[in-house]
Structure 1
Amino acid sequence: MKPDVAPVFCSLKPKDVIGVVAPSARFDAQMFQKGVLCLESMGFEVHIPNGITSRHRYLAGTDRQRADVLNSLFADPGINGIIAARGGFGAMRLLPLLDWDTIAGNPKLFMGFSDATALIIPLISKGGICALHAPNLVSLGRADEQTLESFSRNLTGCFSRINLSSDQVLAGGRATGWLVGGNLATLVHMIGTAYQPDFTDGILFIEDVGEPAYKIDRMLTQMKMAGVLEGVKGVVTGSFENCDNDDYIPEIIQEVFFDANIPICMGIDVGHGAVNLSLPMGGGAILDADHACLEWDFAVK
């Protein structure tokens, strides 16, 4: 569902405390520690809850364990922001176990990407909280300077215009709306659930990794046939990393949105590529395909 009011962006400041949650797959301890040191070098304190190193099959603990950690971080007044440890799979399994009243009553900035898309979507719509589509904790440990600078600026509320390549513009025009979306495969798996995304009046952002072009085609076709693309005001894509026949993807996207008459741009450095810029999700955005840029206007609802 679309939020009734513009979600709140809870920016952070130095010495704020960032809690770590592991909503998805198990993580590498060495890369985890590098991510912690990275946050500390930016001036933040890091809170590592008990139990996030638990293991249950490929998951970082049972669903109840992982959900309890996230619920407790939102309920704790000493925690200012929350970052996902890594992606993989498992975040959507937590959704029925989360205390949405507590989350909505204690807004905090949530950071993550990939599988964390399953949390970002309902945090915006049910919690009324903007989230930061940004590197997970283990990703920070190996991030390049451009990624780290974008992360640091965005989580403190300094949003910079993102310029796109003009040869990646698939359809011209200018659109305003709330930025929504994330990992394409995760978005598709949420269709038909109580947490199905609503992109109405939104600028849709998508990215993915390891999916051949025909699967990208199949997922977008399913979304269109399910009606979830109705009301989209613009489309901007991130990287499609390690996706076979990725040269087909622009044509696929044009076919899916051929009758929408909306601006469409590709090639923003966000996702599973070497550069992963941060995006404030749930806030107002302006996609100007004629000038090949994406910028922010939080007055947009």
Structure 2
Amino acid sequence: MPAVFTTPPPLDAGGRVAVVAPSRPIDESQLDRACARLRDVFSLDPVVFESARRDWEWLRDNPAARAEDVMQAFEDPSIRGVIAATGGDDQLRVLPHLDPARLTASPTRFFGFSDNDNLRLFLWTHGVVSYGATLHPTLTVDPELHPYVERYLRRAFFERSIGVVEPAPEWTDDWFDFDTEAPREWRDNPGRTWRGDERVTGRLWGGNFSVVKWHLQTGRYLPDPDDLDGAVLALETSEDVPLPREVRYTLRAMGERGLLERFDGLVVGRPRTHAPGLEWEPPADYGAQLRAAVLSVLDAYNPDATAVFDLEFGHADPTVPLPLGARATLNPAVGRLRID
């Protein structure tokens, strides 16, 4: 892995945070709500860049402009954080327009997940730690910000590390209706599932399953395989809710390429089990089927890896802004995950 990883300095109360759209835009009402929460809850000063005001057609046709907004935000000495508006499905097209020298010359805390894991994996390859949160949905859903989300966002904004990631007391994957603002149904957290008994520590690499698969397919932005030795693979399956066998196929291909065996650990986010417009109906035991698919590949290619499932990151709520590039310590003996 890169000889040195840089964790960009924390933000300060009253600090300026750039709002950019390296993926898709969000509605003006969602933008206003998220910016208000940055100001009112976290005492941050959001600075909305041009890309975040553009419509999707313009962003689709101008990937270089999206990249330029990100680089200018990193280079602005008055800005300590950069947060993506939301995810999408084409940020891979932005990466060729990024100049790593401009991003690494003044490392800045970048916040994004889902499609933004493209940019975060790019930053990983160049030794910069980045965080998993976006304006939408992280700062827009629910009538009030969930206290678990607020707690860990505060750590990501203002502290050097995330620390121990405690289980959330509840979870949901209900879709939030912005028209009615109706409260979502929250369910008791059934807990995490651990595999293995070895305590391991390694830098987090991965993120959204679709993005990881794209990077494996293109091969343009992958780190040197040796750089992954001892790392911890992070995976979450997003609102795409892929068939468990598709996840198994991809991990199997990683195994055949000699990549999967390089990881000492694996962390898997609690999966969404439904989303509007899905082309199939996930079964009630989707999470168990997904876990079984992943475990079958680990058993074949990396039997000594320590793994933990149903963590609070990804597209089910509430979430921790999991920082790619940070050191994760998995301690199955006490059921604890710590991120430094």
TM-score, scaled relative to structure 2: 0.81
Bigger-Rg structure (1/2): 2
1:39 maps to: 38
The CA deviation at 1:26 is 2.8
1:207 maps to: 236
1:255 maps to: 296
The CA deviation at 1:37 is 0.7
The CA deviation at 1:140 is 0.7
Stretch deviating more after TM superposition (165-174 or 178-187): 165-174
CA–CA separation in structure 2 for the residues paired with 1:163 and 1:149? 11
1:186 maps to: 211
2:20 maps to: 21
Kindly tell me the number of residue pairs found equivalent between the two proteins: 295
Pairing of 1:1-301 with structure 2 (within 5 A) = 2-41=1-40, 42-57=42-57, 59=59, 62-126=62-126, 128-142=127-141, 143-157=145-159, 158-163=161-166, 168-191=193-216, 192-197=218-223, 199-209=228-238, 210-242=241-273, 244=282, 245-258=286-299, 259-260=301-302, 261-297=304-340
In the superposition, relative to structure 1, how do residues 114 and 188 fare at CA in structure 2: closer, same or farther (>3 Å)? same
Q: Which amino acid aligns with 1:171?
A: G
Structure 1: runs of 5+ lacking an equivalent: none
CA–CA separation in structure 2 for the residues paired with 1:9 and 1:48? 21
What per-residue deviation string (whole Å, max 9, x for no partner) do you get for residues 68-112 of structure 1?
111211121111110010001222211110121111101100001
The CA deviation at 1:57 is 3.7
Is the 1:163–1:292 Cα contact (8 Å) retained in structure 2? Answer: no
What per-residue deviation string (whole Å, max 9, x for no partner) do you get for residues 13-46 of structure 1?
1111110110112322211111111111111111
What per-residue deviation string (whole Å, max 9, x for no partner) do you get for residues 140-187 of structure 1?
122422112211122211523124577611222210111222101111
CA–CA separation in structure 2 for the residues paired with 1:180 and 1:223? 14
What per-residue deviation string (whole Å, max 9, x for no partner) do you get for residues 228-265 of structure 1?
32310101111211262332112111111114201111
Q: Which amino acid aligns with 1:177?
A: G
CA RMSD, Structure 1 to Structure 2 (Å): 2.0
2:186 maps to: none
Q: Which amino acid aligns with 1:24?
A: S
Identity %: 23
